[in-house]
């Protein structure tokens, strides 16, 4: 009988295992050195904040694995032998496989700053990082976060929840403006400042200084300002965790190199999730996707392939979401931080600065290609359909009500959005359409 | 370049000030509690009004001071910080002490009301205002219960969910129905020499409203009101309940009207995360709640048979059923366990495992309703906030992470899963029943 061994029990590895189990009886083993059971990495922050305990972050009860015939092994893999098809564990155990899935995730980046390995300085990715952060932040007066991305803002929220004053060093001129257009980025600036976090934009880390015991004492910025602190979080992105794979015959680049079917250079060996680098023929740069959603979709796709139904990984119309402190964000399609030559964008922002909607569309046919939305929940399916069906901006605006996913009694902003459009386009005034009744009962 | 900055020392200072103000407020609540306990010893006998002010007045004032401080301290939004790290909200020793105290209060209330004599006398002035008569233990209970819902309901509206209109309106509704229909109206009716009737409780929750004894009593009451009450009770149980549940799900009752849900969603809010989410708990829940429903249906049927046959056949049997139900379910389960165990088992123990009305509404909701919680496509990150904060112990995430809508008999539609979701994945909706259960949200094709 085939034996699938999966290294890594994160969302990609676990989704692959579940997908295989749906159609196949093959033996499945998941190996993880991090935890006994699958947990939601995105929820780590909430453990620190006290919203949840570790046990609440486990999406399945512990009996689930045995019931579904999925073996779990806790431990670190030391070596992968693809010729003889086995992995060797740190404790010497040998585990044979007929198919191997690498789902080893990421590791936090460090860029060679002086003092980056001092006690009290850390990245934030794993459960072990969380435990370390718990120790590192006990009794401190001030914390520094380096790097304004999605993990950085999470760490800021975590520290803030414990009333630990935070200074947030962000390289960019506005928060996350390597991804977001200026207006949205500035909205997040304000959100951060409003929470009492000391946001230093366009500021980089120069070095980290130790105290007499060798623990972190302060950081020095590129403005030569010294800021004393008891804790430094380095949240300047992550890179594929492939040190294990590098000593094997499996080809690697920045990550484990795979084709569109998530197959590596070695037959019967696959990679999915953060650790996979998808070769894009004809493009200068391969694709590494480090999101929860892509991890899940890759896991599902590779699971089908492993179970015998070779399936190309297609992520479909892009979407992502995040929460910046109290500000919710969703994005659909593609919104460039710097407007593309071929595109225009419509932007509306509520005067209170807490709600915004950007719709990007093609100049030539006004077809909508991307949506950013802040402080309003929108219906995934509807937004996806608009983009897939290449609906023009005006169609999307007049049908905005179809997409609203805010709870009942929440203030609706569709009319304000339309008014904003009409003010700018007095020659082409739009009228908001009634919410379309759900499909099934009434068709259009 | 520092584009935006805030004076840090100033910020820290103002945080400290607010921290002090919040502590002062909580200190006043503590002081008020102390006065309340002192009143039990008889100190309040000669000056009941003074003691009401010193106890409930200080508690209310202190609570509002701490609400003010919390509002100033944090922008609106979900702030469940430290809930699983504090003894009080994470089943620590403080929680056990509170649990034992509340359980003890219920036991005394039901079976040793004499011990509460001094408290009852303390609220006499309130009773005289309302119905010009002395208070009894049930007046005391109703008064405390309403005050708890009003204070903690204000916390929901002014602090915790002030960013959510759904929660604000829903909480206001709970406070309104409790104060008006479960407290003022029954006692005003009493003042008018009418039967003290609760218009917001129906059979099978208020099980005796369709017992032959109650019906006979109401019908024989002079004036038309008694007849109307019987009519109202029957219509609500057999007509309004199915119709409203068809349109809105069981939430129209359980988290907008009912006082049990009202207490759970206000005073009980700090404990909502303690419900058991295991599959075992769900199995237990189904066995128990439908057994209680069967129990009350059988009891009611036996009483009517007995009444029709003038007690000749089933007299002692039906009375036995009635007594057992009243003791085991009406008193022990709904009161002592239902509220006393808040800090240990979460707030909806009664609603989830015992309430026959919830069982009835649940069957309607599952099979005859337009209500569902919609999952927004593939956006779930499996974080678990929804499941953790579901007071009914539904493993919401189980559905959400599969992109599946949530249609569960037990869901009371409190809306907190939607509120705590950091990715906006969940939404309470009433809509066409087609594809109601569907995977990947076929609501809109």
pLDDT digits (tens, 9 = 90+) for A251-304: 999 999 999 999 999 999 999 999 999 999 988 899 999 999 999 999 999 999
Give the C-alpha separation, A365 to A425, whole Å. Answer: 17
Q: What is the pLDDT of residue A198?
A: 98
E strand map for B252-396 = 371-375
A86 CA: distance to closest CA in chain B (Å): 32
Give the C-alpha separation, B143 to B147, whole Å. Answer: 6
Q: What is the pLDDT of residue A442?
A: 37
B282-291 — which CB contacts under 8 Å span 24+ positions? B282/B393, B282/B395, B284/B353, B285/B352, B285/B353, B285/B393, B285/B410, B288/B353, B288/B354, B289/B352, B289/B353, B289/B354, B289/B355, B289/B356, B289/B358, B289/B359, B289/B362, B290/B359
C-beta of residue B248 within 8 angstroms of C-beta of residue B219: no
Helix (H, G, I), strand (E, B) or coil at A356: strand
Give the C-alpha separation, A83 to A282, whole Å. Answer: 31
User: What is the set of domains in chain A, with CATH numbers?
Assistant: 3-107+239-306 (3.50.50.60), 121-236 (3.50.50.60), 319-424 (3.30.390.30)
Helix (H, G, I), strand (E, B) or coil at A269: strand
Within 8 A of A43 by CB-CB distance, chain B residues are 381-385
The 10s digit of each residue's pLDDT in B124-136 is: 999 999 999 999 9
What residue in B sits closest to A61 (Cα-Cα)?
B278
- Cβ-based contacts under 8 A for chains A and B: 182
Would you give the distance in Å from CA A93 to the centre of its chain?
34
Helix (H, G, I), strand (E, B) or coil at A327: strand
Count of all residues that appear for chain A in the document: 444
Of A187, A191, A217, A189, nearest to A203 by C-alpha is A189
Higher pLDDT, B312 or A442: B312
The 10s digit of each residue's pLDDT in A347-375 is: 999 999 999 999 999 999 999 999 999 99
| Interaxial angle between packed helices B279-308 and B315-324, expressed in degrees from 0 to 180 and rounded to the nearest 10 | 150
Give the C-alpha separation, B143 to B146, whole Å. Answer: 5
Task: Give me the residues of chain A with pLDDT under 50, please.
Answer: 439-444
Would you give the distance in Å from CA B382 to the centre of its chain?
28
Indicate yes or no: CB of B6 within 8 angstroms of CB of A293.
no
Average pLDDT over residues B395-423: 97
Q: Does A171 touch chain B (CB under 8 A)?
A: no
Give the C-alpha separation, A320 to A357, whole Å. Answer: 15
- DSSP state letter for A432: P
What residue in B sits closest to A405 (Cα-Cα)?
B427
Q: Name which of B383, B389, B398 to mutate to probe chain A: the one with the most chain A Cβ atoms within 10 A of its Cβ.
A: B383
Q: Name which of B376, B425, B441 to mutate to probe chain A: the one with the most chain A Cβ atoms within 10 A of its Cβ.
A: B376
Q: What is the pLDDT of residue A437?
A: 57
Q: How far is CA A279 from CA A242, A255, A260, A313, in A?
A: 16, 10, 7, 12
The 10s digit of each residue's pLDDT in B215-268 is: 999 999 888 899 999 999 999 999 999 999 999 999 999 999 999 999 999 999
Indicate yes or no: CB of B382 within 8 angstroms of CB of A11.
yes
Average pLDDT over residues B199-210: 93
Helix (H, G, I), strand (E, B) or coil at A166: strand
Give the C-alpha separation, B272 to B393, whole Å. Answer: 9
The 10s digit of each residue's pLDDT in B41-78 is: 888 888 899 999 999 999 999 999 999 999 998 899 99
So where are chain B's domains? 1-74, 273-358, 370-430
Of B354, B148, B272, B35, nearest to A51 by C-alpha is B272
Helix (H, G, I), strand (E, B) or coil at A373: strand
Indicate yes or no: CB of A379 within 8 angstroms of CB of B422.
no
Q: How far is CA A76 from CA A32, A79, A244, A285, B243, in A?
A: 6, 9, 10, 31, 58
List all residues of chain A from 190 to 209 with a beta carbon under 8 Å from chain B.
Answer: 190, 193-196, 198-203
Of B430, B358, B335, B354, nearest to B107 by C-alpha is B335
B179 CA: distance to closest CA in chain A (Å): 23
pLDDT at residue B3 above 60?
no
Give the C-alpha separation, A259 to A297, whole Å. Answer: 15
Q: How many helices (H) and strands (E) does chain A have?
A: 12, 25
Indicate yes or no: CB of A325 within 8 angstroms of CB of B77.
yes
Q: How far is CA B59 from CA A87, A358, B54, B65, in A?
A: 64, 48, 8, 10
pLDDT at residue B1 above 70?
no
C-beta of residue A364 within 8 angstroms of C-beta of residue A317: no
Give the C-alpha separation, B53 to B123, whole Å. Answer: 11
pLDDT at residue B439 above 70?
no
C-beta of residue A109 within 8 angstroms of C-beta of residue A263: no
Provide the b/e sequence for B385-394 (b: ≥16 CB within 10 Å). Answer: bbbbbbbbbb
Helix (H, G, I), strand (E, B) or coil at A11: helix
pLDDT at residue B445 above 50?
no
Architecture of domain B370-430 in this structure: 2-Layer Sandwich (3.30)
Q: What is the pLDDT of residue B312?
A: 65
Q: What is the pLDDT of residue B42?
A: 85
Q: Does A441 touch chain B (CB under 8 A)?
A: yes
Q: What is the pLDDT of residue B438?
A: 63
Q: What is the pLDDT of residue B321?
A: 84
Indicate yes or no: CB of A438 within 8 angstroms of CB of B443.
yes
Q: Does A319 touch chain B (CB under 8 A)?
A: yes
The 10s digit of each residue's pLDDT in B269-281 is: 999 999 999 999 9
Least confident of B105-114, B304-313, B361-370: B304-313
Q: What is the pLDDT of residue B44?
A: 83
B383 CA: distance to closest CA in chain A (Å): 5
φ and ψ at A347, to 5 degrees? -130, 130
List all residues of chain A from 24 to 63 with a beta carbon under 8 Å from chain B.
Answer: 40, 42-43, 46, 49-53, 56-59, 61, 63
pLDDT at residue B12 above 50?
no
Q: What is the pLDDT of residue B63?
A: 97
């Amino acid at each position: 009988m085939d034996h699938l061994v999966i290294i890594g029990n994160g969302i990609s590895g676990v989704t692959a295992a579940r997908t295989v189990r749906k159609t196949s009886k093959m033996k499945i083993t998941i190996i993880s050195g991090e935890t006994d059971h699958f947990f939601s990495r995105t929820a780590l922050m909430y453990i620190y904040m006290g919203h949840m305990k570790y046990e609440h972050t486990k999406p399945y009860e512990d009996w689930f694995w045995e019931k579904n015939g999925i073996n779990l092994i806790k431990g670190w893999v030391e070596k992968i032998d693809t010729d003889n098809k086995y992995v060797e564990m740190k404790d010497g155990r040998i585990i044979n496989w007929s198919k191997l899935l690498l789902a080893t995730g990421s590791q936090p980046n460090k860029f060679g700053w002086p003092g980056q390995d001092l006690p009290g300085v850390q990245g934030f990715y794993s459960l072990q990082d969380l435990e370390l952060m718990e120790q590192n932040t006990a009794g401190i007066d001030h914390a520094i976060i380096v790097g304004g991305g999605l993990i950085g803002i999470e760490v800021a929220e975590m520290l803030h929840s414990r009333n630990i004053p935070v200074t947030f060093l962000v390289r960019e001129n506005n928060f996350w403006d390597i991804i977001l257009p200026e207006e949205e980025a500035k909205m997040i600036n304000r959100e951060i400042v409003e929470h009492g976090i000391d946001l230093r934009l366009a500021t980089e880390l120069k070095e980290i200084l130790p105290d007499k015991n060798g623990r972190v004492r302060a950081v020095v910025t590129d403005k030569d300002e010294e800021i004393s602190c008891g804790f430094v979080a380095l949240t300047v992105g992550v890179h594929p965790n492939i040190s294990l794979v590098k000593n094997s015959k499996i080809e690697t680049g920045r990550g484990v190199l795979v084709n569109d079917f998530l197959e590596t250079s070695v037959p019967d060996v696959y990679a999915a999730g953060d650790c996979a680098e998808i070769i894009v023929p004809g493009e200068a740069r391969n694709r590494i996707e480090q999101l929860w959603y892509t991890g899940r979709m890759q896991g599902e796709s590779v699971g089908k392939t492993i179970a015998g139904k070779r399936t190309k990984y297609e992520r479909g119309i892009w979407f992502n979401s995040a929460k910046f402190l109290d500000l919710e964000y969703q994005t659909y399609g593609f919104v460039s931080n710097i407007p593309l030559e071929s595109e225009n964008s419509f932007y509306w922002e509520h005067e209170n600065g807490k709600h915004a909607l950007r719709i990007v569309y093609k100049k030539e046919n006004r077809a909508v290609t991307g949506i950013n939305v802040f402080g309003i929940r929108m219906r995934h399916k509807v937004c996806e359909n608009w983009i897939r069906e290449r609906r023009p901006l005006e169609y999307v605006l007049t049908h905005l009500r179809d997409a609203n996913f805010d709870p009942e009694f929440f203030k609706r902003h569709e009319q304000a959005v339309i008014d904003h459009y009409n003010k700018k386009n007095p020659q082409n005034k739009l009228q908001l359409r009634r919410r379309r009744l759900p499909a099934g009962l009434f068709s259009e | 370049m520092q584009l935006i900055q805030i004076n840090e020392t100033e910020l820290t200072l103002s945080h400290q000030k607010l921290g002090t103000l919040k502590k002062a407020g909580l200190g006043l609540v503590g002081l008020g509690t102390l006065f309340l306990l002192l009143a039990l010893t008889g100190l309040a006998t000669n000056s009941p009004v003074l003691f009401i002010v010193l106890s409930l007045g200080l508690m209310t004032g202190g609570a509002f001071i701490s609400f003010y401080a919390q509002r100033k301290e944090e922008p609106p939004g979900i702030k469940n910080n430290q809930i699983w790290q504090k003894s009080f909200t994470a089943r620590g020793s403080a929680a056990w002490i509170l649990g034992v105290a509340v359980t003890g209060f219920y036991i005394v209330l039901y079976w040793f009301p004499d011990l509460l004599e001094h408290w009852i006398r303390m609220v006499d002035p309130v009773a005289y205002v309302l119905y010009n008569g002395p208070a009894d233990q049930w007046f005391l209970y109703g008064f405390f219960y309403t005050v708890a819902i009003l204070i903690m309901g204000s916390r929901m509206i002014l602090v915790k969910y002030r960013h959510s209109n759904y929660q604000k309106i829903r909480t206001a509704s709970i406070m309104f129905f409790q104060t008006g229909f479960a407290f003022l109206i029954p006692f005003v009716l009493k003042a008018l020499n009418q039967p003290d009737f609760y218009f917001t409780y129906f059979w099978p929750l208020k099980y005796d409203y369709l017992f032959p004894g109650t019906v006979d009593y109401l019908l024989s009451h002079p004036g038309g009101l008694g007849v109307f009450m019987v009519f109202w009770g029957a219509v609500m149980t057999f007509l309004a309940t199915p119709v409203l549940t068809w349109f809105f799900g069981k939430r129209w009752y359980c988290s907008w009207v009912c006082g049990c849900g009202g207490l759970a969603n206000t005073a009980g809010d700090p404990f909502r995360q303690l419900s058991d989410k295991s599959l075992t708990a769900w199995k237990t829940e189904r066995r128990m709640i439908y057994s209680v429903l069967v129990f009350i249906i059988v009891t009611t049927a036996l009483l009517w048979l007995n009444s029709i046959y003038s007690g000749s056949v089933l007299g002692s049997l039906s009375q036995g059923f009635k007594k057992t139900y009243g003791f085991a379910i009406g008193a022990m389960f709904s009161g002592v366990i239902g509220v006393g165990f808040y800090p240990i088992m979460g707030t909806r123990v009664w609603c989830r495992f015992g309430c026959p009305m919830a069982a009835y509404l649940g069957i309607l909701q599952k099979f005859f309703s337009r209500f569902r919680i919609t999952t927004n496509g593939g956006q779930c990150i499996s974080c678990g906030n929804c499941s953790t904060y579901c007071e009914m112990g539904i493993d919401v995430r189980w559905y959400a992470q599969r992109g599946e809508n949530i249609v569960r008999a037990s869901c009371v539609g409190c809306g907190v899963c939607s509120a705590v979701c950091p990715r906006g994945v969940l939404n309470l909706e009433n809509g066409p029943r087609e594809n109601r259960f569907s995977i990947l949200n076929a609501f809109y094709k």
